[in-house]
A and B are shown apart, each in its own frame.
Chain A
Amino acid sequence: MWDQARQALTASMNKLLSETASLLPGVVALIVALLISALIAWVLVAALRRSLAGIHFDERVNRWGFTSLSEWSPSNSPTLLVARFVFWLIIFFGFLVGIASFDATLTSQLVHSMFAYVPNVLGAVVVLLAGNVIARFLARSVLIGAVNMNLQYARLLAVGVKWLVIVLAVTMALEHLKIGGGIVNLAFGILFGGIVFALALAVGLGSKELVSRSLEREASKTSGNGVEEPFRHL
């Protein structure tokens, strides 16, 4: 009986050791793949950073209107953000190569499902970028227009419009990513409705004074009491 127990124990030990030993080349391959990808990433990122600095990428990004990209970036540098993104992307590919040395079918399934999701991610990124550009353009239009109309709450209006468009873009992006589903739609409805309601209230209450002032001006014009302004521009 003891012999049988010893044999079973030895067999299981052998099995465990052989399975562990069979994993070792994979682990080594993973480590090597990660090291090589890190080396490639480091070289590529250094070249990328140098070339982006050469074309003044940070200034250009600001000039193109993506000022928020600087705010989100490490050290307020979009160049650094792009470089780090590229670095981790290469590391990720190295990791996938390393994983393939364990089990090729697992990796292919993982890669397949990931690539199937890529169009959604790209769609979401495009929606977010477009939303950001449109939000900034509209916010700027509203801000300048409201200042030229001498509205004291010009900035509030501009910020309201900007967030309205950004919230819409984020919701559309989440919809693309299939995250949240019903909850996102419900939250968006509540948030969007809330912003519109708040803006309507703000404009409505704020424009009371504006309307009364313009009526006063009209009244003074018709009664002839108003002094004609001497300013002629063109």
Chain B
Amino acid sequence: MGGERSRDHRDIAKGDSVDLETIPQQARERIEKISKADLLVGVLADHANDAPAMVRQALAGFNETPRTVVFQGDHVAASPNGADAGSVDSGAAQEEGVFVVPWTLLSPDASVSPVQSMANAYQFILAAGDKLGVQACCIVGSDLQTVTSEWISRLVQPILQGGFDLVTPCYAHGKFEGLLNSSLISPLNRALYGTRLQNPLGPDLSMSRSMFQRMLGAEQGNKPAGSQTRTLASLAPTAICGGFKICQAYLGPRTFPPTDWTNLSSLLVQVLGPIFLDVERNATCWQRARPPVSPPIVGERMMMAEDKGAVDVRRMLELFQLGARDLPEIWGLVLPPTSLIELRKLSRLQPDQFRMPDDLWVHIVYDFALGYRLRTISRDHLLRAMTPLYLGWVASHSLEMENAPARAVEQRLERLCHVFEANRSYLVSRWRWPDRFNP
């Protein structure tokens, strides 16, 4: 069965579509047996023994408990909780209206990258939710160490009771956590689509039936689910451009996975590739000017965690300087000469003076998004060549915020978002006239 599951995950990794036939036999039988539900909660993390109990607790506040299906790692079937709840026929499970389907959502296959594996898991959950006819799909992608029943409650309630279509998370992360999101994903999304989402990529989120059907590409016409499945990167843009109701939920601190320095450039390729691709696909949507919107937020706001102690950015600075020495001819295919000159100057600065100006970073991001669209060089090369630049920003931000309190870091990131918004016209001009407009 493990081999069969690995093959399924690889198949999904190659193509974008999800077919229910690719769901493991045991899980599929259980889904067919349950037949109908109101809510689906997919827990991606392993060792999710507490997940069913957490879901029950989260649903306790509802006047009428929705019929709920929980997907969790299949090893828990042998555990005391899992053994009881694992069976659809179990009296306890039916009584509380919560059915557990043991199913390892994340691929155990080492050849599938973690990002791709997570994207596949989302698609499996959405496809299964469609099959079950649920009203809401909630996906818990974070490590369960910090996940509480309140997380699930805050993610689910706005959908089932508030009439929202998409709930994205707000975390109380540390100063140097979620850096790719803070530096690029969130500000870019906000500048382009005008909706201030702290974490447009989740990973903990929930969506309504109409939203996940749009994601599965099955909303219009009678197309089968999976015929036009969208990636996770297109979740927020799809919701914004499609006019869906969005809100955010304060979830508190989250455990971020540690950095794998050897695969950082692969991570950038896997994360930024779909984002830039989506920028290209949604060009007509984001080029329409719209006023900035702050979606409503549920839950109690928590400040960033106060990290203390010096940070060591030597490795990042070394890599940035090496990139500035050896990669200008590749960067020059994408970046205008002014940016290259600024980068050269920056690479000569001493570590204590090293600060990457926001304008420069924003122009770099916009120029790379444009380079991705124009296919100036291989897209894989382009995104990998961005790694030293990204690390340059991380080093600059870390040095600047090393001793700053959490509040100051939040304000600093907000300023960066404003610069992204202020330079939106730069991207629009370059997008429309890539050959003519070259400052």
Contacts and interface: CB of A to CB of B under 8 A. Distances in A.
Interface of A: 56, 59, 63, 65, 137, 140-141, 143-145, 147-150, 152, 154-155, 227-234
Given A147-B326, A234-B181, A234-B271, A229 B319 contact: no
Contacts of B377: 65, 140
A55 B212 CA distance: 45
9 contacts: A144-B381, A145-B265, A148-B387, A149-B262, A150-B322, A228-B258, A229-B259, A232-B257, A233-B180
A147 B178 contact: no
B268 to A, nearest CB: 9
B271 A231 contact: no
Interface stretch (B292-300, B310-318, B420-428): B310-318
Contact of B384 (A56, A65, A148): A148
Contacts of B177: 230-232
Given A140-B381, A144-B381, A148-B388, A234 B326 contact: no
A149 B388 CA distance: 10
Given A137-B378, A148-B387, A232 B179 contact: yes
A144 B259 contact: no
Interface in B266-304: 267, 271
B54 interface: no
B143 to A, nearest CB: 12
B49 to A, nearest CB: 25
Nearest to A149: B262
Contacts of B271: 234
Contacts of B387: 147-148
Nearest to A228: B258
Given A63-B376, A149-B262, A230-B311, 10 more contacts: A141-B381, A143-B327, A144-B327, A144-B384, A147-B326, A227-B309, A229-B258, A233-B178, A233-B259, A234-B267
B176 interface: yes
A232 B180 CA distance: 8
Nearest to A152: B322
Nearest to B324: A147
A143 B307 contact: no
A148 B261 CA distance: 9
Interface of B: 173-181, 256-259, 262, 264-265, 267, 271, 307, 309, 311-312, 315, 318-319, 322-323, 326-327, 330, 333, 376-378, 381, 384-385, 387-388, 394, 398, 435
A160 to B, nearest CB: 14
B196 to A, nearest CB: 20
A113 to B, nearest CB: 42
Contacts of A141: 381
Contacts of A228: 258
Contacts of B385: 144
B388 A232 contact: no
B388 A147 contact: yes
Contacts of A227: 309, 312
B319 to A, nearest CB: 5
Nearest to A154: B326
B398 A231 contact: yes
A220 to B, nearest CB: 13
Nearest to B395: A231
Contact of A233 (B179, B311, B327): B179
A164 to B, nearest CB: 19
B322 A145 contact: no
A21 B116 CA distance: 84
Which of A137, A149, A229 counts the most B-chain CB atoms under 10 A from its CB? A229
7 closest pairs, A vs B, by CB?
A232-B256, A232-B177, A230-B176, A148-B265, A233-B180, A144-B384, A231-B176
A186 B175 CA distance: 61
Q: Which of B180, B259, B326, B333 has the most CB of A within 10 A?
A: B326
Interface-centre pick from B174, B322, B378, B381 (highest chain A CB count, 10 A)? B322
B175 A230 contact: yes
Contacts of A149: 262
B371 to A, nearest CB: 11
Contacts of A232: 173-174, 176-179, 256-259
B174 A147 contact: no
B174 A230 contact: yes
Nearest to A217: B261
Contacts of A231: 176-177, 179, 259, 311, 394, 398
B264 A148 contact: yes
